[in-house]
Structure 1
Amino acid sequence: MVQKVTKGIKISVETVFEGTLYKNYQIQYAFGYQITIENKSKDSVQLLSRHWTILDALNNLEIVYGEGVIGKKPILNPGESHTYTSGCLLFSPFGAMFGYYNMVNISNQNGFRVHIPNFKLNAPFALN
């Protein structure tokens, strides 16, 4: 598990290799990740959008951004957390992801970024 705290918001990430599949005549490697967002600050906040950079060992780069996470824009009061699961496909058995969430402090409407720590995606059969 990797973790990072930005402005009182703690992000924890766990990953899992889910298997391989063939898509468009190419093998792809499926990875899942579970993210927990914990509000350790004294203010209520809302997650508005996300921005991901996804890299694989073949130097393929994918940028993903959009509103919320899995269709939700959670509001987190102090001490609350939100956990969700998602995934990605890579063209190699190794890769990494990192990014940030755009959030807003509900009491003063100030926006801020919460950094998602860089986390590795590894297929266990490919490890030495």
Structure 2
Amino acid sequence: MARFKEEPSINKIIAEEKEQVGITEAKEELRTRRDTIFATKFFQLVTGPEGAHDEERAVLLPVERSHHDNITILRTIWSADGNSLTLFLKDTTYGDDWFMSGYMAVCDRLVDQDFYLAILYHEWFIIEPPATLEA
């Protein structure tokens, strides 16, 4: 008669591992990982409008850090409550042509955070602003 070994239960393994890690330690580890990922070097700084939001705000864009020096903010549009931001950018990393270098980012501030996260990032053709916007 052949005997088979009992297959370990994944739920049992996870439960045993959870018991070995304290909640405080786990939270601290997650904070450390978050702070490493969202370190200042990954953010593009954007100056807010005059008034309530006139300090620089950090915005996390889905671009490599090597692009940051090549990015120019052409226009910013802030929501009335300051929780959303629309950016029109020029990234000259791969060229300075109007049809290659324009990007648009829609960003939201995460709850209980002081930075904005790009929820939409897309190409945009850079067109000179109409006379109605110049003032």
Q: TM-score, normalised by structure 2?
A: 0.29
Larger radius of gyration: 2
**Could you say which structure has the higher helix fraction?**
2
Say which structure, 1 or 2, has more relative contact order (CA 8 Å, 6+ apart). 1
